[in-house]
């Protein structure tokens, strides 16, 4: 009975585990959505590309990624934003950053174990559209934040504080 119970729990959590996958799966064929999917296989092929012009930080970040999925739509963005949020099991994810102002609504949640971030999920919405982005791999948030040109030393400090606050 115990074994059965454990196996069932495992099966259930496995299904929940991939709520994002389900969201992607549901809308991948939907013409209202545009989808970008880069598989682990393709990520392995990326090593064959000429990297000379790619900045070191970016190169390191990409080399630790395993997969990328992006789904976005311009149709009823807030409806899909709500649906996406409802599909995320917040027991699995930890809230990292939440932006809410008159223009943007962005959330970053992470899946972490043993101090390593295995998945970074971004859900963003504004009047123009809804985007959900899932990075899977070994994700260094500091490096990622540093990638955009607007990054400065202050931002790095803030990111560290944000991480600590969420612990």
Kindly state the smallest distance separating residue 82's Cβ from another protein, in Å.
19
Among candidates 64, 49, 71, 57, which has minimal Cα distance to 132? Answer: 71
Q: Where are the alpha helices (DSSP H) in the chain?
A: 2-17, 19-27, 40-45, 56-63, 77-87, 141-147, 153-166
Kindly state the smallest distance separating residue 104's Cβ from another protein, in Å.
7
Query: Using CA atoms, how far apart are residues 167 and 160, in angstroms rounded to an integer?
Result: 11
Kindly state the smallest distance separating residue 88's Cβ from another protein, in Å.
16
Query: Using CA atoms, how far apart are residues 114 and 119, in angstroms rounded to an integer?
Result: 13
Residues binding another protein (CB under 8 A) = 1, 3-4, 7-8, 10-11, 14-15, 18, 21-22, 24-25, 28-29, 35-39, 41-43, 45-46, 48-49, 54, 58, 61-62, 65, 68-70, 97-99, 101, 104, 106, 108, 120, 122, 124, 131, 133, 135, 141, 144-148, 150-151, 154-155, 158-159, 162
């Amino acid at each position: 009975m115990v074994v059965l119970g454990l196996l069932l729990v495992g099966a259930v959590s496995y299904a929940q585990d991939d709520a994002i996958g389900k969201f992607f799966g549901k809308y991948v064929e939907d013409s209202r959505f545009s989808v970008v999917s880069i598989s682990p296989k393709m990520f392995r092929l990326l090593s064959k590309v000429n990297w000379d012009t790619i900045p070191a930080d970016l190169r390191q970040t990409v080399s630790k990624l395993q997969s990328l999925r992006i789904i976005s739509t311009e149709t009823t963005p807030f409806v899909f934003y709500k649906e996406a949020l409802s599909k995320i099991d917040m027991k699995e994810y930890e809230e990292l950053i939440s932006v809410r102002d008159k223009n943007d609504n962005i959330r970053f949640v992470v899946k972490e174990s043993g101090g390593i971030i295995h998945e970074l999920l971004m859900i963003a919405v504004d009047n123009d559209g809804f985007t959900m982005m899932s990075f899977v791999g070994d994700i260094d948030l500091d490096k990622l934040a540093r990638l955009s040109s607007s990054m400065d030393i202050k931002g790095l400090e803030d990111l560290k504080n944000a991480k600590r606050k969420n612990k």
